[in-house]
Structure 1
Amino acid sequence: MDYTPQEICKNERLSIYNGAFQIIIVSFIGNFIPLFAIEVLDASNTQVGLISSLPSIMIILSMIPAAIWMDRFESKKKFTAINIFAARFLFLLLLFVPIIPMANQAWVLVVMIAVMNFPIAVSTLSWQSLIGDLIPDERRGQFFSKRGRILTIVGMFTTFASGLIINQFDSSDPYPFQVLFIIGFVFGLAEIYFLIKHIEYGAKPEKDQESMFKTIIKTFKHKPYFYFLVCACMFNFGWQMAWPLFTIYQINYAHATALWISIFTVINQIAQIVSYNWWGKMADKWGNSTMLFVCAIGMTTAPILTILTKNLYFLALSNLWTGLFVSGTVLLLFNQVLRVSPNQLRTSFLANYNLMIAFIGCIAPQLGVLLLDYLGMVKAMSISSVFRLLGGISFLLVVFYFENKRRNKKNHVNASV
């Protein structure tokens, strides 16, 4: 059943409210869990790397069963809500980690973060499929640009306020982090509330549905999707390889405090806020793949700019620069995977995409830490930049391939006439 314009507008509004509460929790996890691990729990480089990569293993383990389970639910939003609640409850349990015997604290955190990402991965897949149903293709670019901008503003204020509060305490004091975990759980309940308020016309599961494994294999035969997947995997390999390296460099090399970590994030998010609309307009004009190439070039500079100095003010400026391209990367990757995924098989295509990116996310951060241990920070960051650049070039090559194919087909038709 098609949604009316009024229902679509209401779902868009509710999605922004839902996303606002979600981004608060994501800001806590992404920005302060590594700091919590290093400063409070004395985590090693390996453990910090595992915090980045183990969640990807859980995503790999969850994608196939998640797609199968979701197809048995008439309501995707209820399925999403159940898994969000499970994830937020596990987030609340993190407040007990500091009272565990010291020798095991960091490893307990690593395991809990990994387990927490199972329901997170399941809810992400079901939300992507749900929002693809609720928001028509012609509105996605404009809507996701607006939503991304608003959510980034919320995340910016959350990060800055949290960092400012944490900075008032001793860096090894677990108390402010424990408060964040409690607040995060409360906001998680609000996140679920606004999700449940969405208008959804659930479809009854099909009894004769084809095997999920066979359907996912079919996704590789859909050329626009397959070529995008190859490019996205190459780019994400270089992107995710440096994630733990940035954290380690900022905290261990540049000696950034919680306040500086929040400043880096806020400045990066300000750049995202001012650039979201521009990326959406340019994507409408030039296409997602072309603009992904531009984003990749900008993202290539991030590791290089970081290792130029340990000066915190310069690192803040480099975060301002790279934030301009982060917004485009996140927006365009999501828009493109929805665009190249057929409506009737969207769940399977999204599951396969998340599965492959998670596989990359499992390997890349660990390789980044391994390169750091054997080659040093400069070479590890440089290798990350190379892979980002190759990924960007591949997006552009795909544009040329399909454009050339379209031109040859048009010439063939004209010749036949």
Structure 2
Amino acid sequence: MADEPIREPSPKDESYNLKINAWNGVLKGAGGQLVNPFLGINAIRLGAPNIDLGIISAIPYLAGGLAALLSPWLVRQPELKQTTVRLFLIARLSILLFAAIDADPLLPHRALWLVIAIVWANIPGALATLSWQAMTTALFSGAMRSTAVMWRQWGMNVVGVIAVLLGGWAINRDPGTRGYMVLYVIGAFLGLAEVAIYRRFRVPHLHRDLPSTTWATALPDLWHHRKLRQFILASTVFYFGWLMLWPASLRYQVSVEHANNGWMAIYTAVNAIFSIAALPVWRLFNRRVPTRRLLPWATLGMALTPAIYLFHPSLAAIILANVTGGLAGAGFNLLINVRLMEVVPESLRTMAVGANTFLTGVVGGLGAISAVLFMHWGSLMAAFWGATVIRVMAAGLFVWASGSFRQYVPHPHRAPLG
């Protein structure tokens, strides 16, 4: 199936969408940082075992992977923007389930119910994110995508720092469950405001996959796109190593070093502050260096974070891991999204994004579960070693996917050099 030429949005619509995108990110950052950083420690407080921590870390990615299987359903929706709005609305309202679980101290197996509620909230959220990613090429031209991603990430992080510090302070002042409940309720209402802002995007042109598209018809075409194939392989390996760190680092912070909500807020804030500082630098680099060349360096920087845990850091020293995570993560999150939009075929954009989301989500979720197995059969240090090595491997694969390892192949109608 041949790709159709990309029709760029008008400068007026693009400028407007940049502003809406930034405000949408601000509200998403505020609501998300009042909820997500504290879910793991809340689950531990409710008695969650290691397997639950692995599941909580894996859920957003497993849900994304499973939601990606519904890409043909998204393709058939007559109004993709309105479908995305409804899915985001369900996901943000589902945050209230977390508050309801904390509100009932007599509810048996509350940690399990919290895990189930997180699963429920992430499925519509994952579908909405998938359709949102498919829409970005219609909202922003190729020259402006990295700028749009940067400003959105910057707004999310700036407001997120304030939100997470206030959240950690508020929870520590209340030893019971009210602190968590209040944050969850506020987070849900901020989520509703985020959806209201999202509705204001202007989608001047949205190239849609053929309504008859199915995985059986799309996969053979997607397989023929070598750049997409290589990108997905490198991304899949990275996400396995990325999520392998999460449950292990959370268990180390809370059970070994006895971190409380205040420390969790500090770690998240430090990560966000250094991400804020690094984003403009990565954007400047990206103006001079192609995304495919720069992405491996950001990925290699992400390997520093699990490596720091190998030195048995104290509560204060764990801050360093969040410094490196913020610096490298800013570049990775910026570049991975830009690079994805560069390699997806326009004629099968929704299905290509769905294939990438499915594989990275499912394999990333398996990475989180593998950390639990490492903790059960080996040690925390084994999980940290595994996360470090696999992230370094992913950096090498991104170099390979960029073409740097490809040897010169003479043109069939051209004499070889030399």
TM-score normalised by structure 1 residue count: 0.92
Superimposed CA distance per residue, residues 237-267 of structure 1 (whole angstroms, 9 cap, x where no aligned partner) = 1111111111111111111111111111111
Alpha carbons 1:253, 1:310 under 8 Å: kept: no
Q: Which residue in 2 is equivalent to 1:352?
A: 355
Q: Which residue in 2 is equivalent to 1:210?
A: 213
Superimposed CA distance per residue, residues 188-212 of structure 1 (whole angstroms, 9 cap, x where no aligned partner) = 1111111111112466978763324
The partner residue of 1:87 within 84, 91, 94 is: 91
Q: Which residue in 1 is equivalent to 2:18?
A: 12
In the alignment, the residues of structure 2 paired with residue 276 and residue 414 of structure 1 have an alpha-carbon distance, to the nearest angstrom, of 45
In the alignment, the residues of structure 2 paired with residue 164 and residue 408 of structure 1 have an alpha-carbon distance, to the nearest angstrom, of 64
Question: Secondary structure, in 3 states, of the residue corresponding to 1:312?
Answer: coil
Superimposed CA distance per residue, residues 133-183 of structure 1 (whole angstroms, 9 cap, x where no aligned partner) = 11111111222122212221111111111111112121xx11111111111
Same amino acid, percent of matched pairs: 24
1:291 alignment partner AA: L
2:77 alignment partner AA: F
- Quote the offset at 1:353 in angstroms: 0.5
The partner residue of 2:101 within 93, 97, 102 is: 97
Alpha carbons 1:300, 1:389 under 8 Å: kept: yes
Q: Which residue in 2 is equivalent to 1:24?
A: 30
Say whether 1:118 aligns with 2:123. yes
CA 1:414 to 1:285, structure 2 compared with 1: closer, same or farther past 3 Å?
Answer: farther
The partner residue of 2:255 within 248, 252, 266 is: 252
In the alignment, the residues of structure 2 paired with residue 216 and residue 281 of structure 1 have an alpha-carbon distance, to the nearest angstrom, of 36
The partner residue of 1:222 within 219, 222, 225 is: 225
Q: Which residue in 2 is equivalent to 1:268?
A: 271
Alpha carbons 1:63, 1:122 under 8 Å: kept: yes
Query: Which moves more between the two structures, 322-331 or 292-301?
Result: 292-301
CA 1:235 to 1:252, structure 2 compared with 1: closer, same or farther past 3 Å?
Answer: same
Say whether 1:312 aligns with 2:315. yes
Alpha carbons 1:292, 1:329 under 8 Å: kept: yes
Alpha carbons 2:304, 2:324 under 8 Å: kept: no
The partner residue of 2:341 within 338, 341, 353 is: 338
In the alignment, the residues of structure 2 paired with residue 212 and residue 282 of structure 1 have an alpha-carbon distance, to the nearest angstrom, of 37
CA 1:400 to 1:202, structure 2 compared with 1: closer, same or farther past 3 Å?
Answer: closer
Question: Secondary structure, in 3 states, of the residue corresponding to 1:313?
Answer: coil
In the alignment, the residues of structure 1 paired with residue 291 and residue 358 of structure 2 have an alpha-carbon distance, to the nearest angstrom, of 21
Say whether 1:44 aligns with 2:52. no
CA 1:202 to 1:284, structure 2 compared with 1: closer, same or farther past 3 Å?
Answer: closer
1:386 alignment partner AA: V
CA 1:292 to 1:157, structure 2 compared with 1: closer, same or farther past 3 Å?
Answer: same
CA 1:4 to 1:385, structure 2 compared with 1: closer, same or farther past 3 Å?
Answer: same
CA 1:231 to 1:408, structure 2 compared with 1: closer, same or farther past 3 Å?
Answer: farther
Alpha carbons 1:74, 1:203 under 8 Å: kept: no
Say whether 1:141 aligns with 2:146. yes
Alpha carbons 2:274, 2:327 under 8 Å: kept: yes
In the alignment, the residues of structure 2 paired with residue 70 and residue 391 of structure 1 have an alpha-carbon distance, to the nearest angstrom, of 30
Superimposed CA distance per residue, residues 208-249 of structure 1 (whole angstroms, 9 cap, x where no aligned partner) = 633243213421220001011111111111111111111111
The partner residue of 1:365 within 362, 368, 373 is: 368
In the alignment, the residues of structure 1 paired with residue 115 and residue 361 of structure 2 have an alpha-carbon distance, to the nearest angstrom, of 17
CA 1:46 to 1:408, structure 2 compared with 1: closer, same or farther past 3 Å?
Answer: same
1:345 alignment partner AA: L
Q: Which residue in 2 is equivalent to 1:243?
A: 246
Question: Secondary structure, in 3 states, of the residue corresponding to 2:48?
Answer: coil
Q: Which residue in 2 is equivalent to 1:60?
A: 65
- Quote the offset at 1:275 in angstroms: 0.9
CA 1:25 to 1:414, structure 2 compared with 1: closer, same or farther past 3 Å?
Answer: farther
Q: Which stretches in structure 2 are left out of the alignment for 5+ residues?
A: 1-6
Q: Which stretches in structure 1 are left out of the alignment for 5+ residues?
A: none
CA 1:182 to 1:208, structure 2 compared with 1: closer, same or farther past 3 Å?
Answer: closer
CA 1:413 to 1:402, structure 2 compared with 1: closer, same or farther past 3 Å?
Answer: farther
Q: Which residue in 1 is equivalent to 2:3?
A: none
Q: Which has the higher helix share?
A: 1
In the alignment, the residues of structure 2 paired with residue 414 and residue 209 of structure 1 have an alpha-carbon distance, to the nearest angstrom, of 46
Q: Which residue in 1 is equivalent to 2:4?
A: none
Query: Which moves more between the two structures, 307-316 or 114-123?
Result: 307-316
Say whether 1:290 aligns with 2:293. yes
Query: Which moves more between the two structures, 29-38 or 391-400?
Result: 391-400
Superimposed CA distance per residue, residues 10-29 of structure 1 (whole angstroms, 9 cap, x where no aligned partner) = 11111111121112232233
Q: Which residue in 2 is equivalent to 1:164?
A: 169
1:382 alignment partner AA: W
In the alignment, the residues of structure 2 paired with residue 266 and residue 116 of structure 1 have an alpha-carbon distance, to the nearest angstrom, of 24
In the alignment, the residues of structure 2 paired with residue 161 and residue 203 of structure 1 have an alpha-carbon distance, to the nearest angstrom, of 40
TM-score normalised by structure 2 residue count: 0.92
In the alignment, the residues of structure 1 paired with residue 100 and residue 253 of structure 2 have an alpha-carbon distance, to the nearest angstrom, of 27
Alpha carbons 2:93, 2:192 under 8 Å: kept: no
CA RMSD of aligned residues (A): 2.2
In the alignment, the residues of structure 2 paired with residue 325 and residue 346 of structure 1 have an alpha-carbon distance, to the nearest angstrom, of 28
Map 1:192-211 to 2 at 5 A. Answer: 192-201=195-204, 209-211=212-214
In the alignment, the residues of structure 1 paired with residue 210 and residue 297 of structure 2 have an alpha-carbon distance, to the nearest angstrom, of 45
In the alignment, the residues of structure 2 paired with residue 249 and residue 74 of structure 1 have an alpha-carbon distance, to the nearest angstrom, of 48
In the alignment, the residues of structure 2 paired with residue 55 and residue 326 of structure 1 have an alpha-carbon distance, to the nearest angstrom, of 18
2:48 alignment partner AA: A
In the alignment, the residues of structure 1 paired with residue 301 and residue 310 of structure 2 have an alpha-carbon distance, to the nearest angstrom, of 16
Map 1:372-411 to 2 at 5 A. Answer: 372-401=375-404, 404=407, 408=410
Question: Secondary structure, in 3 states, of the residue corresponding to 2:317?
Answer: helix
Superimposed CA distance per residue, residues 357-415 of structure 1 (whole angstroms, 9 cap, x where no aligned partner) = 1111221101011101211111211111010111111111233457645x855x96687
Query: Which moves more between the two structures, 221-230 or 308-317?
Result: 308-317
In the alignment, the residues of structure 2 paired with residue 179 and residue 160 of structure 1 have an alpha-carbon distance, to the nearest angstrom, of 15
CA 1:221 to 1:10, structure 2 compared with 1: closer, same or farther past 3 Å?
Answer: same
In the alignment, the residues of structure 1 paired with residue 237 and residue 319 of structure 2 have an alpha-carbon distance, to the nearest angstrom, of 27
Alpha carbons 1:92, 1:181 under 8 Å: kept: yes
